[in-house]
């Protein structure tokens, strides 16, 4: 692991979310590179990284053709309300081929989902070979909101950390590279963004009066996140904490984490299983 991944990976132990300043910009190149307009710099960089991501995506897709590999990539995004999950999805998928990508949002489980184990709907939503999946919320809600709201007993949710680790290790062994990112905003930033939602009629659909109840439980959520990050940051599937008060930094950091992960996978186009020269000669000789 190197570069930004090293800097942003959450090291289990006694690490706390509170140790990460949501306004900080770890790993950002110096002023001589970024200049005095970081938003513009980020836009330009993210556009360039997106080109790289699109090339990787195509190679990933091609490499899994006809079941050659079971390689797939899953970006898991978690955050408090207004943490920027939707904006991040928009940003990192700019220009990706929709055919090789699947973004899934998880809300409260419906009746059928409740009849199954909490990982049932997660397994069904995983990307298939050659695809990139993006989870907007995830199985981690089952140790976050479920715990904060006492939706089920502690005897049940307390076992889920191990179940999650076992599940993620099983998936990693089955070709799935998981990049789990917590977009970490401050309570003040959330207030600003909630206000912006209320002040803009085109954003009312994103607002839910329940958001204020969730906000009132801010500290409980931070504690629940601390435990989830500490207990489920594994070698097979590490957690990254991205300071997210500054959207331009967040976009650059997530795009970079994804790009660096793809660089390790380095998917390759499959070798043609036909004689290229012979096909070419046949084509030229035909009408």
The contact set with ligand AMP (CB under 6 A) reads 106-109, 137, 141-142, 145-146
- Smallest distance from the beta carbon of 197 to Mg ion, in angstroms? 9
User: Could you report how far apart the first and last alpha carbons of the chain are, in Å?
Assistant: 53
Closest to Mg ion by CB, 65 or 187: 187
Closest to ligand AMP by CB, 71 or 160: 160
- Smallest distance from the beta carbon of 81 to Mg ion, in angstroms? 5
Closest to ligand AMP by CB, 23 or 204: 204
> What binding mask, one character per residue, do residues 66-105 give for Mg ion by CB under 5 A, x or -?
---------------x------------------------
120 binds, options ligand AMP, Mg ion, none, Cβ within 5 to 8 A by partner type: none
Closest to Mg ion by CB, 81 or 168: 81
- How far is the C-alpha of 176 from the C-alpha of 135, rounded, in Å? 14
- Smallest distance from the beta carbon of 135 to ligand AMP, in angstroms? 10
- Smallest distance from the beta carbon of 153 to ligand AMP, in angstroms? 14
∠ CA 44-49-53, nearest 5°, is 150
3-state SS assignment for residue 104:
strand
DSSP state of 83: S
Segment (H or E) for 146:
helix 145-148
- Smallest distance from the beta carbon of 21 to ligand AMP, in angstroms? 25
Closest to ligand AMP by CB, 99 or 152: 152
Closest to Mg ion by CB, 81 or 189: 81
- How far is the C-alpha of 208 from the C-alpha of 211, rounded, in Å? 5
107 binds, options Mg ion, ligand AMP, none, Cβ within 5 to 8 A by partner type: ligand AMP
108 binds, options ligand AMP, Mg ion, none, Cβ within 5 to 8 A by partner type: ligand AMP
- How far is the C-alpha of 71 from the C-alpha of 144, rounded, in Å? 29
- Report the residue closest to ligand AMP, judged by CB: 141
The two tokens of residue 130 are: 């050659």
Interhelix angle for 38-63 vs 85-92, to 10°? 60
- How far is the C-alpha of 157 from the C-alpha of 146, rounded, in Å? 8
Q: HSE, CB side, 13 Å, CA atoms: give it for residue 207.
A: 17
3-state SS assignment for residue 179:
strand
- Smallest distance from the beta carbon of 269 to ligand AMP, in angstroms? 37
3-state SS assignment for residue 267:
coil
- How far is the C-alpha of 227 from the C-alpha of 221, rounded, in Å? 10
Closest to Mg ion by CB, 91 or 190: 190
34 binds, options Mg ion, ligand AMP, none, Cβ within 5 to 8 A by partner type: none
- Smallest distance from the beta carbon of 145 to ligand AMP, in angstroms? 4
- How far is the C-alpha of 62 from the C-alpha of 56, rounded, in Å? 10
Residues forming the site for Mg ion (CB under 5 A) = 81
């Amino acid at each position: 692991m190197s570069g930004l991944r090293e800097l942003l990976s959450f090291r289990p132990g006694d690490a706390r979310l509170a140790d990460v300043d949501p306004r900080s910009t770890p790993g950002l190149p110096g002023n001589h590179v970024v200049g005095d307009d970081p938003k513009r710099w980020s836009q330009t960089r993210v556009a360039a990284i997106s080109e790289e991501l699109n090339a990787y995506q195509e190679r990933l897709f091609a490499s899994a053709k006809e079941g050659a590999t079971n390689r797939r990539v899953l970006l898991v995004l978690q955050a408090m309300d207004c943490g920027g999950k939707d904006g991040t999805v928009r940003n990192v998928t700019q220009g990706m081929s929709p055919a090789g990508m699947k973004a899934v949002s998880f809300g409260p489980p419906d009746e059928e989902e409740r009849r199954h184990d909490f990982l049932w709907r997660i397994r069904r939503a995983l990307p298939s070979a050659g695809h990139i999946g993006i989870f907007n919320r995830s199985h981690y809600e089952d140790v976050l909101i479920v715990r904060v709201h006492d939706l089920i007993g502690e005897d049940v949710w307390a076992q889920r950390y191990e179940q999650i680790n076992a599940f993620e290790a099983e998936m990693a062994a089955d070709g799935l590279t998981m990049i789990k990112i917590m977009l970490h905003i401050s309570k003040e930033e959330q207030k600003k963004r909630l206000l912006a939602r209320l002040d803009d009629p085109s954003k009312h659909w994103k607002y839910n009066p329940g958001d204020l109840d969730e906000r009132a439980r801010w500290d409980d959520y931070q504690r629940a996140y601390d435990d989830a990050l500490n207990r489920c940051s594994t070698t097979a599937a590490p957690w990254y904490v991205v300071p997210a008060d500054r959207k331009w930094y967040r976009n650059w950091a997530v795009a970079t984490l994804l790009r660096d992960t793809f660089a390790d996978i380095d998917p390759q186009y499959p070798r043609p299983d036909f004689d290229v020269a012979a096909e070419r000669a046949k084509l030229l000789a035909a009408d």
